[in-house]
Amino acid sequence: MMSEPDKDDKPFSPDRITFENRYVTVVGEINDKLAKATSERLLALAAVSDDPITLFISSPGGHVESGDMVHDLIRFIKPTVRVIGSGWVASAGALIFIGAKKENRFCLPNTRFLLHQPSGGIGGKASDIAIQAEQLELMKTRFERIFAEATGQTPERIAADTRRDFWLDTQQAIDYGLLSKVVHSATEI
């Protein structure tokens, strides 16, 4: 005969396990829903304790301002945030990745990185197109400054490298200053 489960036994829940281990996952397109969920998770973990948080990211990128939200929040909260890239870390995903201090930026062995200048769908009246083009140029300049500060490259180098898609493997990402270390297991962090 089976015994009654102990009242303190909680059923297995991946969400509970990731929360208790202070893990956050960012997988897929960066958009407002993902940014909201990620931000809420980071804020909740920061409210519980100042212990480090580990954020795993695999993303093709997406909406820049949603990436900005998570990037800025990583820097805003008190706990140290360690970021581990896996799969690919591209575009707005790379923006989130560099929210962590360089010494806290890691990736798994088969990760690839993609940097490129922002793009957008411009349309409408001529006056609106001019405004949107100006905003894209401002975003591009900001992107170059943020990535220059995070990597140690100059904004001019970032601008030149990201005129087209700029792919980096793990060693290239280390050499470029994007990444601190490739890790093979959790014990290396």
Element containing residue 147 per DSSP (H, E) = helix 126-151
Q: Is the pLDDT of residue 8 over 60?
A: no
User: Which carries the bigger pLDDT value, residue 2 or residue 108?
Assistant: 108
| Whether pLDDT at 2 is above 50 | no
C-alpha closest to that of 74 among 98, 44, 48, 106: 98
Average pLDDT value for residue range 15-20: 85
| Catalytic-residue membership of 116 | yes
In order of their start, the domains of the chain are 14-121+164-182 (3.90.226.10)
Kindly name the residue from 39, 66, 91, 180 that is annotated as catalytic. 91
d(CA 109, CA 177): 16
Task: Decide: 102 and 127 in contact? Cβ < 8 Å.
Answer: no
**pLDDT digits over 27-84, tens only?**
999 999 999 999 999 999 999 999 999 999 999 999 999 999 999 999 999 999 999 9
To the question of pTM greater than 0.85 for the whole model, the response is yes
Active site residue 91: yes
Question: Which listed residue (71, 116, 184, 185) is catalytic?
Answer: 116
Q: What digits encode the pLDDT tens for the residues 86-126?
A: 999 999 999 999 999 999 999 999 999 999 987 766 778 88
Which of residues 70 and 136 earns the better pLDDT score? Answer: 70
